[in-house]
Structure 1
């Protein structure tokens, strides 16, 4: 298969390729403007019928609910050391199609991760925490009749470089493109 276009030719393509999950943080606080920029990116994610079902709960470093979350994830060390956490939720009364709305939440998370990367921040998508959704919602003080937990993003100033490998396209494109 031939090579795709040079990702360095476009900052969006470069960010998609360079973004990594960062799980260790320096302890230096993020600015309000940085957090708002990340949230704004999440807000602009696509959603079916533009129903905008995503909601965000920001947990700063001094929020006592963070310690309660540590009992409900195997990534307690990330919960304790990141600067800010963003719980990504779907508002149930805004849903119109479960599959599309869950995809909207994924798009929102990806937008926020890319925004964090563009700002030079480190971030990681904690998806495992949804395995204990009812307990997490209780810790957060949110009604499970109103909200569905999708993910928690941890953000901070990176104290590590991320790494990743991807399968070649020839292994994941099933058909429809001649190599």
Structure 2
């Protein structure tokens, strides 16, 4: 096996942001596998400050959530949205906890891809914390929304490019 052919490295390379979905539902087992992947992300001092809320297609909060982002059509088209928060009482370092949340979100995106599902990390929705948390019936004093992951069965092929590694390196290695 070549180094670049491991399943994890392939998933990292092949995962794409998917913004269009079929009407096919996502199963509870698929959602559980995605949430488990997030649960196993690294965090500073292993504090695991993330909290999850799944908004299913028939959830009355879904339309309120869609109203909090310019990407409302993606929220509406998804089979489910996984809202990822930091629980403020469980945080110990703002920078490290935000980094951990990013790792948690990436784990879930990779899990969705591994299951043959499509997903996209919606970040713009976090710009108005009061509106987003209110739409979900949550308290600003308790939670900080990190992202909404819209997911479902893909109805498009993803596409992306990356800069060459040489452009990203500060020094040759």
TM-score interval for Structure 1 and Structure 2 normalised by the shorter chain? over 0.9
1:98 aligns with 2:77: no
Number of paired residues? 172
SS in 1 for 2:128: helix
Q: Which residue of 1 aligns with 2:138?
A: 142
Q: Which residue of 1 aligns with 2:113?
A: 117
Match of 2:129 among 123, 129, 133: 133
Q: Which residue of 2 aligns with 1:24?
A: 20
For residues 9-48 of structure 1, the aligned pairs below 5 Å read 9-48=5-44
Instruction: Please state how far the C-alpha of 1:72 moved relative to its aligned partner.
Output: 1.1
Unaligned 5+ segments in structure 1 are none
Give, in whole Å, the separation in 2 of the partners of 1:77 and 1:143.
25
* Runs (4+) off by over 6 Å: none
Give, in whole Å, the separation in 1 of the partners of 2:131 and 2:165.
39
Measured on the aligned residues, the alpha-carbon RMSD in Å equals 0.9
Match of 2:158 among 162, 165, 169: 162
Give, in whole Å, the separation in 2 of the partners of 1:147 and 1:127.
16
Give, in whole Å, the separation in 2 of the partners of 1:35 and 1:128.
23
TM-score under structure 1 normalisation? 0.94
